[in-house]
């Protein structure tokens, strides 16, 4: 994609993605026509504070076969002006009211024509050359249906602190409902989606995990890469932070769909074990704290006898993490 006459960076902005990398794009061993067309979708709503960085991180990839789609939910914070600023380099965009992020992703997916597809939320970033690395990974492994790369966590609420995440462990596929794949660094062949929609619009937080489950159920071939492909931005206002109670409910719903044999496990941990843990954390009374702690441990011990250990430990970790975040 040519970026001639690209909008200049604002004064004082000197790092990626405000300026193009000084190095040339990676070289392909073979004809450029072998490169796959990549469709990238950005769902957005009132994210003007971050949207321009996201857009630039995509367009400055300089990837020649990019289809970039932005689906805005009718923002009124200046986001549309930012999109219009980059409209000559965007393949298709729209701004109108919708039913949330999942619907926006599906709408973009229906418009996409690329062999490889992914989505990048409007507060996240691609790393330099990320799309080239994605293309090379799929070219190296023609049997791969899904690529899971590493991700850099950017804590904006903690002075911009960076933390590199690990790639999902190989045993992840035995329980794909868990949080093991970083969505901004995950790309897949469009042909791997064996349904007429991409994500479940009934889910607003765990739709990516549900999609990974779909790929595993369809026995798609996964490829893991140690390459850091994206930045996931923690701002303090992320859906995964402010919607913690709803996230826990969706985690329970998704777990029950995927592991129907573990009847009532998720509900017991959410409705009985978690309140005991939280009560022990919040009380100033030593005896009450001790009673809550003993009760929570005794319940967890009993559940470990009745249910597979990996399921109990996973749910404890996830339910607790999203409840106290």
DSSP string, 50-94: HHHHHHHHHHTT--TTEEEEEEE----SSHHHHHHHTGGG-SEEE
Handedness of CA 7, 101, 197, 143 (dihedral sign): positive
* All residues at 6 or more sequence positions from 228 whose CB lies less than 8 Å from its CB, including other chains: 127, 149, 150, 151, 152, 164, 185
pLDDT, tens only, 27-39: 666 566 689 999 9
User: Residues 58-92, buried b or exposed e (16+ Cβ, 10 A)?
Assistant: bbbbbbebbbbbbbbbebeeebbebbeebeebbbb
Return the CATH architecture of domain 32-240.
Answer: Alpha-Beta Complex (3.90)
**Relative orientation angle of helices 309-324 and 286-306, to the nearest 10 degrees:** 140
Kindly give the confidence (pLDDT) of every residue in the chain, 325 residues in length, as a single tens digit, with 9 standing for 90 and above. Answer: 666 678 888 888 888 999 888 777 776 665 666 899 999 999 999 999 999 999 999 999 999 999 999 999 999 999 999 999 999 999 999 999 999 999 999 999 999 999 999 999 999 999 999 999 999 999 999 999 999 998 888 766 555 555 555 555 545 555 555 556 889 999 999 999 999 999 999 999 999 999 998 998 899 999 988 899 999 987 766 555 555 788 999 999 999 998 899 989 999 999 999 999 998 888 878 888 899 999 999 999 999 999 999 899 989 988 988 887 6
| HSE of 165, CA atoms in CB hemisphere, 13 A | 24
3-state secondary structure of 153: strand
User: Residues 152-178, buried b or exposed e (16+ Cβ, 10 A)?
Assistant: bebebeeeeeeeeeebbeeebeebbbb
* All residues at 6 or more sequence positions from 62 whose CB lies less than 8 Å from its CB, including other chains: 1, 3, 20, 25
pLDDT, tens only, 71-122: 999 999 999 999 999 999 999 999 999 999 999 999 999 999 999 999 999 9
Could you tell me what percent of the chain has a pLDDT over 70?
Answer: 86
Which pTM was predicted?
Answer: 0.88
Do 203 and 102 form a contact (C-beta atoms < 8 A)? yes
Domain ranges of the chain: 32-240, 243-324
Q: What is the token pair recorded at 92?
A: 């298709």
Do 223 and 141 form a contact (C-beta atoms < 8 A)? yes
């Amino acid at each position: 994609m040519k970026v001639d006459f690209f909008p200049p960076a604002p004064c004082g902005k000197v790092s990626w993605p405000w300026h193009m990398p000084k190095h040339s794009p990676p070289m392909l061993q073979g004809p450029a026509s072998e490169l796959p067309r990549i469709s990238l979708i950005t769902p957005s709503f009132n994210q003007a504070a971050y949207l321009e960085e996201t857009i630039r991180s995509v367009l400055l990839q300089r990837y020649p076969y990019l289809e970039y789609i932005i689906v805005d939910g009718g923002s009124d914070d200046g986001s549309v002006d930012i999109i219009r600023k980059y409209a000559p380099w965007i393949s298709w965009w729209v701004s109108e009211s919708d039913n949330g992020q999942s619907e926006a992703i599906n709408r973009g997916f229906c418009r996409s024509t690329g062999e490889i597809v992914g989505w990048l939320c409007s507060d996240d970033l691609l790393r330099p050359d990320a799309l080239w690395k994605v293309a090379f990974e799929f070219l190296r492994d023609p049997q791969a249906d899904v690529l899971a790369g590493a991700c850099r966590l950017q804590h904006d609420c903690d002075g911009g602190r960076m933390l590199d995440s690990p790639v999902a462990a190989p045993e992840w596929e035995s329980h794909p409902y868990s949080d093991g794949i970083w969505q901004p660094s995950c790309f897949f062949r469009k042909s791997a989606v064996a349904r007429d929609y991409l994500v479940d619009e009934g889910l607003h937080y765990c739709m990516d995990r549900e999609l990974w489950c779909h790929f595993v159920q369809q026995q798609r071939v996964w490829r893991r890469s140690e390459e850091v492909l994206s930045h996931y931005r923690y701002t303090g206002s992320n859906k995964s932070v402010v919607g913690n109670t709803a996230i826990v409910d969706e985690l329970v719903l998704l777990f029950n769909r995927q592991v129907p044999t573990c009847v009532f496990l998720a509900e017991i941990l959410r409705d009985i074990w978690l309140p005991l843990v939280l009560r022990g954390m919040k009380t100033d009374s030593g005896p009450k704290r001790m009673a809550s702690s003993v009760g929570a441990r005794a319940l967890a011990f009993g559940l470990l006898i009745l249910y597979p250990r990996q399921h109990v430990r996973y749910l404890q970790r996830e339910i607790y993490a999203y409840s106290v975040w």
